[in-house]
Amino acid sequence: MGYKGSAATGLVCLGLVFAAAGAFFRPAARPQAASPLPDTPRGAAAEPWQGPDLASGQTLRLLLPDGQVALVGLEDYVYGVVCAEMPASFAPAALEAQAVAARTYALRRAGSGLHAPAAQVCADPACCQAYTAQDPANWGVMAAVYGPKIQAAVAATAGEVLTQNGALIDAVFHASSSGATAPAQAVWGAEVPYLVSVSTPETVENVPGLQEERVFSAQEVEALLGSADLGEPVYSDWGGVSALPVGDKTLSGQEVRQKLGLRSARFRVSRTGDSFTFTTVGYGHGVGMSQQGANLLAREGAGYREILAHYYPGTTLEKIS
């Protein structure tokens, strides 16, 4: 494990009611990922909540990619997730906000019974959260700085989680939006009171690579969408495409994103001759905390509590002890 700095955190859940999950468990998009991550919603509602298996200890049973299950200290696990999910160069308050979101997400996930009985969470970013047991190789000479930096972010928030009405929230996050985040309803079809659209400061000027152009031939569009006869996109208040006429059908922006492998459902489309250019802004499903937005807010002086309150409005920061 990369994280040696944390002593036991005394994890005894203080009557937290882990709400039975709806269809809102989403993997986060990794900012440095080379390709868009799938974000098909978990379909069925989770099993009724049976209580965490953490009450008497401080460990998580983590399903690793090779099928082994490792017993990992909760804070060590959070360290491994922050290493894997957020660039270590980000501001300390953004890393702290990420640590709280990762801890909250993992404990709620553990309570869903998805990987029961053998494990509680897995290390697959397309299912639970990305996790690395070692410092990411791309840290290079910065490893001596970044390791302690992330350890400090985890330690500063040790045991802290976000709740609403006594239940752990579904602390989804994504790499970047622009202008506003997306409401849960736009992506997964049901409203979640703390996953509403909120402002977020990313622009193409302050986040390098926020915009991406993908060019498809008409044949590719026809193969992937069912028709190359595209109408004018209809946009939601938050900036994403809510509907795109495709032939005699209408696809949602999320459907177009998934079928074409676009970075986000916030796109424009133009046609030149036999090719279509899809220009996306942002990366990921767009719901909950924007990691790039959190970094910008942190650089403007916001603390992690402020960042979390902004992206998960109406929630409470609590310490499990």
Question: Which residues contact Zn ion by CB under 5 A?
Answer: 122, 127-128
E strands, the chain, are 59-63, 69-73, 121-122, 160-164, 167-168, 173-174, 179-180, 199-200, 211-217, 234-235, 241-246, 249-251, 267-272, 275-281, 289-290, 316-319
Q: Rounded to whole angstroms, how far apart are CA atoms 220 and 218?
A: 5
| Shortest distance in whole angstroms from residue 44 CB to Zn ion | 15
Nearer to Zn ion, 1 or 116 (CB): 116
Nearer to Zn ion, 128 or 307 (CB): 128
| Shortest distance in whole angstroms from residue 81 CB to Zn ion | 12
Residue 71's Cβ-count burial label (10 Å; 0-12, 13-18, 19+) is: exposed
Nearer to Zn ion, 44 or 137 (CB): 44
Please give the single-letter amino acid code of residue 218: A
Q: Rounded to whole angstroms, how far apart are CA atoms 41 and 56?
A: 31
The DSSP code sequence of 132-190 is -SS--GGGGGGHHHHHHHHHHHHHHTTTEEEEETTEE----EESB-BEEPBPHHHHHSS
| Shortest distance in whole angstroms from residue 106 CB to Zn ion | 10
Three-state DSSP state, 319? strand
Which residue(s) pair with 283 in the sheet?
Answer: 176
| Shortest distance in whole angstroms from residue 54 CB to Zn ion | 16
Do 282 and 272 meet the contact criterion of CB atoms below 8 Å apart?
A: no
Q: Rounded to whole angstroms, how far apart are CA atoms 113 and 147?
A: 31
| Shortest distance in whole angstroms from residue 109 CB to Zn ion | 7
Per the rule left: phi > 0, alpha: psi between -120 and 50, beta: everything else, 103 is: alpha
Nearer to Zn ion, 81 or 294 (CB): 81
Nearer to Zn ion, 125 or 239 (CB): 125
Q: Rounded to whole angstroms, how far apart are CA atoms 91 and 267?
A: 28
Nearer to Zn ion, 122 or 241 (CB): 122
| Shortest distance in whole angstroms from residue 128 CB to Zn ion | 3
| Shortest distance in whole angstroms from residue 14 CB to Zn ion | 25
Nearer to Zn ion, 47 or 274 (CB): 47
Nearer to Zn ion, 107 or 128 (CB): 128
Three-state DSSP state, 76? helix
| Shortest distance in whole angstroms from residue 240 CB to Zn ion | 26
What token pair was written down for 156? 């500063």
